[in-house]
């Protein structure tokens, strides 16, 4: 059984992932079809990402993570991503018309790798462990929708990966939906995919795909 409705950037140098006792990994690719609620070929990596415990042996990293739990994100206002470039996007999400200012999403454990803030119609996506600014996204807020216009990201990052990472962060973190994330094509083995996914998105990473996810739809019937 696929179990879609069962919810249960790389900090490799700073972090350690520990396996829970008696945990076995079972990776499985699902083609588009009856067992797959998405319109993408996906790899189920939940046996890994939902069983790992993220920790750090560095006190300064742990202290930074703890201190950031109390941050409202105001320190990011006007900040830019280091060595950045800007990519145009056209992404839209439903909105209830409420004013948006401050915390959008906050990691509640070290297994969650991102915090999200918004100030002056600009989203700031930051790493929860270090506070590093990963993405700065210009938005247009409407009464019934949120439109993303530009993504500022590292100049070294692939444009398509950056856009799809932002989309995943909005859907899986801010909107709290189970959703696949896009992975680079250079990842070959299932273990490589699982390690990359956990390092990048922690326990929010459930299903990985090589395909862009901005047009992903959920096809499962409730």
Q: Which residues contact 80 (CB under 8 A, 6 or more apart)?
A: 133, 136, 152
Is the four-CA dihedral 4, 89, 112, 187 of positive or negative sign? positive
State the pLDDT at residue 16: 53
CA atoms within 13 A on the CB side of 195: 12
Predicted TM-score (pTM) of the model is 0.89
Look at residue 6 in the predicted model and tell me its pLDDT: 37
Q: Is 206 helix (H, G, I), strand (E, B) or coil?
A: coil
User: Tens-digit pLDDT profile for the chain (222 aa)?
Assistant: 334 333 333 444 445 555 554 457 899 999 999 999 999 999 999 999 999 988 888 999 999 999 999 999 999 999 999 999 999 999 999 999 888 999 999 999 999 999 999 999 999 999 999 999 999 999 999 999 999 999 999 999 999 999 999 999 999 999 999 999 999 999 999 999 999 999 999 999 999 999 999 999 877 554
């Amino acid at each position: 059984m696929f179990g879609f409705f069962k919810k249960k950037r790389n900090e490799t140098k700073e972090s350690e992932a520990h396996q829970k006792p008696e945990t076995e990994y079972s990776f499985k690719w699902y083609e588009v079809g009856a067992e797959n609620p998405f319109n993408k070929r996906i790899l189920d990596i939940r046996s890994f990402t939902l069983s790992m415990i993220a920790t750090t042996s560095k006190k300064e990293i742990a202290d930074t993570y703890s201190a950031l739990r109390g941050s409202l994100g105001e320190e990011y206002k006007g900040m830019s991503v280091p060595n950045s470039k800007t990519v145009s996007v056209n992404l839209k999400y439903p909105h209830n018309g409420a004013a948006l200012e401050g915390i959008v999403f906050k990691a509640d454990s070290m297994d969650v790798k991102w915090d999200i803030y918004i100030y002056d119609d600009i989203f700031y996506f930051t790493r929860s462990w270090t506070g590093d600014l990963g993405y700065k996204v210009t938005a247009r807020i409407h009464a019934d929708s949120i439109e993303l216009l530009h993504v500022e990201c590292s100049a070294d990052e692939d444009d398509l990966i950056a856009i799809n990472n932002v989309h995943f962060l909005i859907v899986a973190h801010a909107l709290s939906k189970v959703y696949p994330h896009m992975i680079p094509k250079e990842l070959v083995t299932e273990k490589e995919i699982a390690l990359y996914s956990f390092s990048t998105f922690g326990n929010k990473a459930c299903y990985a795909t090589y395909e862009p996810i901005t047009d992903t739809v959920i096809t499962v019937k409730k």
